[in-house]
Amino acid sequence: MKTRHKKLALIGGGLAVLAIIAALVLNALNSNIALYISPTDVAAGKAPQGKPFRIGGLVKEGSLARQADGVTIRFVVTDTEHDIPVDYKGILPDLFQEGKGVVAQGKMTGEGTFTASEVLAKHDENYMPPEAAKAVGDAHTRAAEKKAAIEAAGEKPKAGY
């Protein structure tokens, strides 16, 4: 084999090894990515089925229920427009409270309940995850637009608008 052919074989082999490494890294990153989806998007059916994702918003007041075992918890995450029930088995963060911001990572079940594998709470009194804050703000905007449209039509808005 000529030196020229050896060099080409060595370059081709190096490129093949780099392509395999890149494919493995991209596959690992893709399997560990968890997208953020708001409760409104989940209610609209935009949540990935069978894949983990993050849901965030506010913990609905009065929705926190602990089971007798002390580690199984059910609560509702809301963006003030739609509510999603969340089941979690584990220890909640110290800052977890009703009415405060939360992000939960997990999967949707067939019954419309989100089963969380991890729950993250806000880290101070002024913090809400940016995605959750945007979802809550968008929900308030849609509610205000709906109320204005009802009032413009000369009807009286229902309670809750």
Is 29 part of a structural domain of the chain? Answer: no
Is 147 part of a structural domain of the chain? Answer: yes
Q: Are 117 and 105 in contact (CB under 8 A)?
A: yes
Mean pLDDT of all residues in 59-71 = 87
Is 58 part of a structural domain of the chain? Answer: yes
Q: Is residue 118 packed enough to be buried (19+ CB in 10 Å), middle (13-18) or exposed (0-12)?
A: middle
Q: Are 40 and 82 in contact (CB under 8 A)?
A: yes
Read off the pLDDT band of 124 (50, 70, 90).
low
131 pLDDT above the threshold of 80: no
Report which residue type is found at 53.
F
88 pLDDT above the threshold of 90: yes
Mean pLDDT of all residues in 69-90 = 89
Is 20 part of a structural domain of the chain? Answer: no
Is 120 part of a structural domain of the chain? Answer: yes
Q: What's the pTM? A: 0.60
Read off the pLDDT band of 87 (50, 70, 90).
very high
pLDDT given at position 161: 45
Total domains in the fold of the chain: 1
Read off the pLDDT band of 19 (50, 70, 90).
very high
Is 60 part of a structural domain of the chain? Answer: yes
Mean pLDDT of all residues in 34-58 = 82
Q: Domain range spanning residue 88?
A: 34-152
Mean pLDDT of all residues in 134-157 = 77
Read off the pLDDT band of 48 (50, 70, 90).
confident
